Amino acid sequence: MSSKKDIWMSIGAGFLIVVVFCLVAWLPHHKRMSAAKADLAKVQAELEVQMTKAAILTEINNQVNDMTTVISQIDKQLVDRGELAILLRKLSSELRRLGIENQTTHTQSPEFFPDYTTIPLTISFMGQYDQADVFVRYMENLNYPIFVNRLSMQRSPRDMDKPIAVNIRMMVFFAPEGDKAS
Phi first, then psi: what are they for 96, rounded to 5°? -65, -40
Residue bearing the bigger pLDDT, 157 or 42: 42
Judge whether 124 and 88 are in contact, CB under 8 Å: no
> So what's the pLDDT on residue 23?
73
Q: Which of 26-30, 81-85, 99-103, 131-135 has the highest mean pLDDT?
A: 131-135
Q: Is the pLDDT of residue 168 over 90?
A: yes
Judge whether 162 and 155 are in contact, CB under 8 Å: yes
Q: Which amino acid is at 118?
A: T
Judge whether 126 and 97 are in contact, CB under 8 Å: no
Residues paired with 166 in a beta bridge: 125, 153
| pLDDT bucket at 181, cuts 50 / 70 / 90 | very low
Strand 111-112 and strand 146-154: the pairing is unpaired
pTM attached to this predicted model: 0.55
The half-sphere exposure of 109 on its side-chain side, counting CA atoms within 13 A, is: 2
Dihedral sign from CA coordinates of 95, 89, 110, 148: positive
Please provide the average confidence, as pLDDT, over all residues in the chain: 83
- CA 145 to CA 172: how far, in whole Å? 6
- CA 166 to CA 90: how far, in whole Å? 18
| pLDDT bucket at 167, cuts 50 / 70 / 90 | very high
Q: What mean pLDDT do residues 92-111 have?
A: 90
| pLDDT bucket at 182, cuts 50 / 70 / 90 | very low
Q: Is the pLDDT of residue 16 over 50?
A: yes
Helix (H), strand (E) at residue 43: helix 27-73
Q: What mean pLDDT do residues 36-48 have?
A: 88
* Residue 94 CA to its chain's centroid (Å): 34
Q: Is the pLDDT of residue 103 over 70?
A: yes
> So what's the pLDDT on residue 72?
62
Q: Is the pLDDT of residue 71 over 70?
A: no
> So what's the pLDDT on residue 75?
47
